[in-house]
Chain A
Amino acid sequence: MSQFLEISGLNARIDADGQEKQILRGVDLSIPPGEVHVIMGPNGSGKSTLSYVLAGRDDYEVTSGSVQFQGQDLLAMEPEERAAAGLFLAFQSPVELPGVNNANFLRTAINAVRRARGQEELDAVAFLKLAREAAKTLSMAPDMLKRNVNVGFSGGEKKRNEVLQMTLLQPTFAILDETDSGLDVDALRVVAEGVNRLRAPTFSALVITHHQKLLDYLVPDRIHVMAKGRIILSGGPELARQIDQEGYAKFLSEAA
């Protein structure tokens, strides 16, 4: 059956200082449309690698396996084609772009994606109206649109900026890579609300997190536990609470 996102037998490695290191070891995961799935797992289990491989970072070599995204072979596409197809990655550590105005960056990105989707481009006035409204709903200071992309932003501001981009780019599939790390409760709620506002029968999300707190606001459909490069356990929302109370150790030893 054709799923929204279907990852099967995904193996990937990275060339680190001349040494090949296998990070993903047979990831199987399918996400139906309209669902929010969560990946939890100890540090170094391959969660961030999975998000990078899905977004198309070429430092990682996919050695076997496949990823189908809305009927397309995701792994054959360039990063910008994946973005145009509706995939969005909220980065764990968003990079700084010195001298590049945030509003200008956003408008360039939105119009690139709109062009690729066969939609009309937004002019400066229409864009600014949209961006200001979105910034307001995310309780962002208006001057963040005027500042350079992520330059001198605090940790929380960077994460809000990721959510702002997500809101404006209207993805059908969003990956949030520890977007909640280092955030206070208010910022956490903003991130969760950003995702919740996008929720629709045609929108899915994959949320990587360590904390139950975010999930209180998000209400996920499925929880997956990742360890040593593969999904070792899947369950409902109660699984996250169990991990929060008991830690990973129990599940890891059971899976071994």
Chain B
Amino acid sequence: MRDENQLHAAVVELVAMDDASIKYSTVQNWYPGDEEGRGGIYNFVTKRGACRGARSKISWTQVETGSAITWKYPSCILQGEGSVGEFYSVAVTNNCQQADTGTKMIHLGRNTRSTIIAKTISAGRSDSTYRGLVRVQPKASGARNFTQCDSLLIGDRCGAHTVPYIECRNMAARVEHEATTSKISEDQLFYCRQRGLSEEDAVGLIVNGFCRDVLKELPMEFAVEAQKLLQISLEGSVG
């Protein structure tokens, strides 16, 4: 039994020049510690990207299921005119895990666009936080951002937190933020079980449905793995 914590620190930097686009996908399932929160990885990661060129694009997709504590904020500096930043994230926490993750979208150039879709699922006694910054600088006329944060709670001892920072310094920019929090309802579980699904399969199905908008951004072989991983991470979280 591991009763110590290990540190995973990594740095990823992306640079996109004129008309280039980069898609960076991660599925992370480091050891999360035991049910009582003993052991596990501290996953403190720096990920940042610069869209230097005109019409360049950087798209981050992540599925975070592991680690005792995750701090991770993949960011995009949108410098080139008409450049695009995207962040698609699923974070699942169970038992005593903590995930604090989000993104930074910094709009410098004109007509830059960013999209943020973050889904968090919390179970057990875990806490999951979306923390993100959208900053529009004075020269970023015509900048647009759309942010959607959805939280799903399983059980009554977990937490979901959404902390959006929005700094807009340009009158001609448009920034939107939507957030929802929901629970898997008894009605949904019973409906699935009446159709023959086990309780765990029912949770897996509902959670995968909840994450669909993000999972569809993953490459095919990743998506299949991520779906299974979601279900495994939530094993024993209901009933």
For B197, give the chain A residue with the smallest CB separation: A112
Partner of A97, one of B190, B193, B196, B205: B205
Assess whether A57 is interfacial by the CB under 8 Å rule: yes
CA distance A223 to B198 in the complex (A): 34
Chain B residues within an 8 Å CB radius of A45? none
Question: Contacts A59-B186, A112-B201 given: A99-B195 contact, CB under 8 Å?
Answer: no
Question: Contacts A100-B209, A108-B205, A148-B209 given: A95-B196 contact, CB under 8 Å?
Answer: no
The distance from the CB of B34 to the nearest CB of chain A, in whole angstroms, is 28
Quick check: A55 and B201 within 8 Å, CB to CB? no
Question: Contacts A83-B194, A109-B197 given: A97-B209 contact, CB under 8 Å?
Answer: yes
The number of chain B residues with a CB under 8 A from chain A is 23
Chain A residues within an 8 Å CB radius of B199? 80
Question: Contacts A97-B206, A148-B209 given: A169-B196 contact, CB under 8 Å?
Answer: yes
Quick check: B196 and A112 within 8 Å, CB to CB? yes
CA distance A99 to B194 in the complex (A): 19
The distance from the CB of A138 to the nearest CB of chain B, in whole angstroms, is 17
Quick check: B190 and A57 within 8 Å, CB to CB? yes
Chain B residues within an 8 Å CB radius of A57? 190
The distance from the CB of B20 to the nearest CB of chain A, in whole angstroms, is 32
Chain A residues within an 8 Å CB radius of B231? none
Assess whether B235 is interfacial by the CB under 8 Å rule: no
The distance from the CB of B154 to the nearest CB of chain A, in whole angstroms, is 15
Digitize A111-151: 1 where CB-to-B-CB distance is under 8 Å, 0 elsewhere. 01100100000000000000000000000000000001000
Assess whether B185 is interfacial by the CB under 8 Å rule: yes
The distance from the CB of A22 to the nearest CB of chain B, in whole angstroms, is 21
Assess whether B208 is interfacial by the CB under 8 Å rule: yes
Chain B residues within an 8 Å CB radius of A84? 196
Quick check: A83 and B191 within 8 Å, CB to CB? no
Quick check: B193 and A78 within 8 Å, CB to CB? yes
CA distance A116 to B197 in the complex (A): 10
One of B52-60, B134-142, B210-218 at the interface = B210-218
The distance from the CB of A127 to the nearest CB of chain B, in whole angstroms, is 14
Chain B residues within an 8 Å CB radius of A83? 193-196
Assess whether A165 is interfacial by the CB under 8 Å rule: yes
Assess whether B181 is interfacial by the CB under 8 Å rule: no
Quick check: B208 and A100 within 8 Å, CB to CB? yes
CA distance A200 to B117 in the complex (A): 51
Partner of B193, one of A79, A116, A165: A79
Assess whether B188 is interfacial by the CB under 8 Å rule: yes
Assess whether B3 is interfacial by the CB under 8 Å rule: no
**Which residues 181-239 of B have a CB within 8 angstroms of A?**
185-188, 190-199, 201, 205-206, 208-213
Quick check: B185 and A165 within 8 Å, CB to CB? no
- What does DSSP make chain B's interface, helix, strand, loop or mixed? helix
CA distance A83 to B199 in the complex (A): 13
For B190, give the chain A residue with the smallest CB separation: A57
Chain A residues within an 8 Å CB radius of B191? 91, 94-95, 97
Quick check: A109 and B196 within 8 Å, CB to CB? yes
For B209, give the chain A residue with the smallest CB separation: A99
Quick check: B187 and A95 within 8 Å, CB to CB? yes
Assess whether A98 is interfacial by the CB under 8 Å rule: yes
Question: Contacts A59-B186, A95-B185, A100-B205 given: A80-B198 contact, CB under 8 Å?
Answer: yes
**Which residues 14-46 of A have a CB within 8 angstroms of B?**
none
Quick check: B195 and A98 within 8 Å, CB to CB? no
**Which residues 49-89 of B have a CB within 8 angstroms of A?**
none
Quick check: B198 and A99 within 8 Å, CB to CB? no
For B212, give the chain A residue with the smallest CB separation: A99
The distance from the CB of B78 to the nearest CB of chain A, in whole angstroms, is 29
CA distance A45 to B112 in the complex (A): 62
The distance from the CB of A115 to the nearest CB of chain B, in whole angstroms, is 9
Chain B residues within an 8 Å CB radius of A88? 194
Chain B residues with CB under 8 Å of chain A are 185-188, 190-199, 201, 205-206, 208-213
Q: Which 9 A-B pairs have the closest CB atoms?
A: A99-B209, A100-B209, A99-B212, A109-B195, A113-B196, A83-B196, A79-B193, A112-B196, A95-B191
Chain A residues with CB under 8 Å of chain B are 55-57, 59, 78-80, 82-84, 88-89, 91, 94-95, 97-101, 105, 108-110, 112-113, 116, 148, 165, 169
Beyond A83-B195, A97-B192, 8 additional pairs, beta carbon < 8 A: A59-B186, A80-B196, A80-B199, A88-B194, A97-B209, A99-B213, A112-B195, A112-B198
Q: List 13 A-B contacts (CB under 8 A).
A: A80-B198, A82-B194, A83-B196, A84-B196, A97-B188, A99-B210, A99-B211, A99-B213, A100-B205, A100-B206, A109-B197, A112-B197, A148-B209
